[in-house]
Amino acid sequence: MLNADALKQLNQLKTDIRSTKEFAEGRVRGSSGKFGFVVLDDGREVFLPPAEMERVFPGDRVRVSLTEEEKGKLSAELDQLIESDLKYLVGQYVQRGQGHFIQPSEHGLSRWIFLPPRARGKAQPGEFIACSVTRHPFKDGKSQAKVESVIGKPDMAGIEHAFIVAQYRLPNQFGKAALEQAEAIPAQLEALCAERNDLTQLGFVTIDAETTRDMDDALAVTESESGWTLHIAVADPSSLIEAGSALDKEAQARANSVYLAGETLPMLPANLCENSFSLIAGALRPVLVMHINVGSDGALKGFEYEFAAIRSQHKLSYTQVAQFIEGDDSAVPADQHDSLRRLDALSKARAEYRAGHSLVMEDRPDYDLILNEQRKIERIEKQQRTPAQRMVEEAMLAANISAGKKLAELGGGCFSVHLGFRDERMAEIRTLLKEALPEYAEQDLHQLDVYLKLVKELEAHTDAEMHNVLAVLKRMLRPGELSTKAAPHLGLGLDHYATVTSPIRKFNDLHNHRVLRAALQGEAVPVLDDEQGEAMQQNVGTGRQADRALQQWLFCQFLEDKTGETFTGTITLVNGAGIGVRLDDFGINGFVRFNSKKNPFEFDGKRLRITRGEENFQLDQQVTVKIAAVDTDKRRIAFELITEAPTTEAHAAEAPSAE
């Protein structure tokens, strides 16, 4: 046994050793293996050996001591767990001998977590489960979890949807108070509409997909002295859903309706989305009506708005309207011919005006996922955008541009903003511009006028190299976001943009209706605080992540029996390991990994280009790939480049039938 002096000396030695070490804080990042990394607050990334990774979860904030290894690489040793946000897990229940575990789906968490006997509930091995973390592994590397719910068996129809809903904790049930409030609303519609100006005589119609049931806008167009007046009637839930009510709180918590493949998780109860507030043909509905003056050149000349009532005259589909525009008068009712022709002319003028004064987003095809009885993909139908969809889009853009300008004047609105390039990529962007367009290299690229001029100059170039520069710059943009403060939308080339056309699907639109109504009535406009705005943005982002995760799972299943088949695709990603490719037929993304030992290549990180011998690979380039491997468990799709494109006949035979 050590005496007091020896213990004192040992403690002093430990103190001296600690004082010579470098300590730092950061976040744990997992990997596909047993090791991990700690991303330090100063930006450095240090290696975390397997034994240390056993003691933490991805996302944990930790304090580590640093050790310099061979070739100057740093490794970390855990010193302190500062915080851990991982409290909830989904995965599959697995049994090995006497051991019971959850195999988590958490990205970067590659180990199983023990389920003690009393923590298993009625769950059975093989089932997908949701668990809470009951013991963190920091002390001894041993973690534990408790089953909170059983998601379902792997062969259950729609298990992928149920799993994703559980994984992202998407709200899919409404509370009792919210449902009771929703049930009371239909009886209030008639009285509310009776108090309002009835604008049915303008001849509104809805134009949507054939299967759409939550119809939140209707259109009509009349002639004016300088061009047209675009009348947009938007469903008005804000007048019957009071801010702070049970229904309002649940809508705000959802932030928007989440559209998963073959399933919708609505922001409001279905009886409201698809009935009471939906602009069903022939039904009297309360609406916000915007009257927008559009010049013959497509310029927006101003607008007025009012809260009114209408009866939509018809429910028209994109297909019907497209057929009418292409010359088939019998495709739509005769009483809509003049209005739809005016809408067509207006939309063309607006598109031309926007092309000259702002930015027009790339026109890409849509892909409809047709599911079978097991709710897996039976086929994918590629849909080219129709003139009817472009007409409606121009109308919605005009409404949201007008609303954005008005809300910026009023204050209190919720804006859709796009702030341009990522700050952390600015050095790369300026280096690229010094070579391509040196006059922009030192300008403030976050300013709308500068950004707009730069993009338009690049778009106007016929040189392929300049098109590549534009493609590279687009990969360095921030995502769009919601903001409680007015700011430009650089992606659209606009001073302000705020959506108001989907209040039964998006809470920010619902809030903007309240602001417009308060201003019209001379009342103080409601304001969302920063915390509410951040929560709404986070919830919107979660819904998008869930949609992507579900699609990737279904895509992997869909391609499992197509290994070896060839397809054309477009390069959407270039990095030091290879290229990402999106299949033209299906809109599915996969990765082509280049092997530097078998076939040496050079990666140009500035222009996102790979050179291999005499071949160049860069963004937006067409290539032909073979489906090399599909790992459904890890949701990974691997492609392999082939040198010759398949013949038209062979390609058509390989693609699933659209019939």
Delimit the domains of the chain by residue range.
22-83, 88-154, 188-416+497-550, 420-477, 563-654
Residue 571 CB: number of other CB atoms within 10 A?
A: 22
Q: Look at the block and give the residue holding tokens 């028209």.
A: 316
Closest CA to 27 of 132, 136, 108: 108
Tens of pLDDT along 616-659? 999 999 999 999 999 999 999 999 999 744 443 333 333 333 32
* Per-residue model confidence as pLDDT tens digits over 83-98: 999 999 999 999 999 9
**Selected residue with higher pLDDT from 298 and 17:** 298
Same CATH topology for 22-83 and 563-654: the answer is: yes
**What is the predicted pLDDT for the residue at 598?**
81
* Residue-level pLDDT at 343: 97
Residue with tokens 């996302």: 59
Q: What is the pLDDT of residue 5?
A: 66
Q: What is the pLDDT of residue 20?
A: 53
Asked if residue 132 lies in contact with residue 120, where contact means CB atoms within 8 angstroms, the answer is no
Q: Give residue 69's pLDDT.
A: 78
| CA neighbor of 214 nearest in space, from 421, 502, 604, 629 | 502
Q: Which whole number is the average pLDDT over 325-347?
A: 96
Identify which of 547, 635, 538, 581 has the alpha carbon closest to the alpha carbon of residue 107: 635
Give the bridge partners for 568, in sequence order. 624
Question: Where do the DSSP E strands lie in 332-405?
Answer: 366-371, 377-383
Given this model, what pLDDT does residue 11 score? 58
Identify the pLDDT of residue 453.
95
463-484 residue pLDDT tens = 889 999 999 999 999 999 999 9
Tell whether domain 22-83 is in CATH 2.170.120.30: no
Averaged pLDDT for residues 316-344: 96
Over 70: is that where the pLDDT of 594 sits? yes
d(CA 46, CA 334): 70
Query: φ and ψ at 181, to 5 degrees?
Result: -65, -40
Percent of the chain having pLDDT more than 70? 94
* Per-residue pLDDT tens over the stretch 146-162: 999 999 999 999 999 99
Could you report the per-residue pLDDT of 511-555, keeping only the tens digit for each? 999 999 999 999 999 999 999 999 999 999 999 999 999 999 999
In the chain, what percentage of residues exceed pLDDT 90?
A: 86
H/E stretch holding 509: helix 507-520
Mean pLDDT in residue range 426-431: 94
pLDDT value at residue 648:
36
pLDDT at 17: 43
**Mean pLDDT confidence for 162-172:** 96
Q: Tell me how far apart the alpha carbons of residues 233 and 249 are, in angstroms, rounded to a whole number.
A: 25
- In the predicted model, is pLDDT for residue 583 greater than 80? yes
| CATH 1.20.1600.10 for the 88-154 domain, yes or no | no
Res 371 pLDDT > 90: yes
pLDDT at residue 201 is higher than 50 = yes
- 596 vs 59: which has the higher pLDDT: 59
Predicted confidence at residue 1, as pLDDT, reads 55
* pLDDT, tens digit (0-9, with 9 covering 90-100), for 227-252: 999 999 999 999 999 999 999 999 99
Length, in residues, of the chain: 659
Give me the chain's average pLDDT, please. Answer: 92
* 119 in Cβ contact with 146 (< 8 Å): yes
To the question of domain 563-654 being in CATH 2.40.50.140, the answer is: yes
| Ramachandran region, residue 603 (left: φ > 0; alpha: ψ -120 to 50; beta: rest) | beta
Cα-based distances in Å from 405 to 235, 398, 497, 517, 529: 21, 11, 7, 15, 20
Q: What is the mean pLDDT of residues 140-146?
A: 95
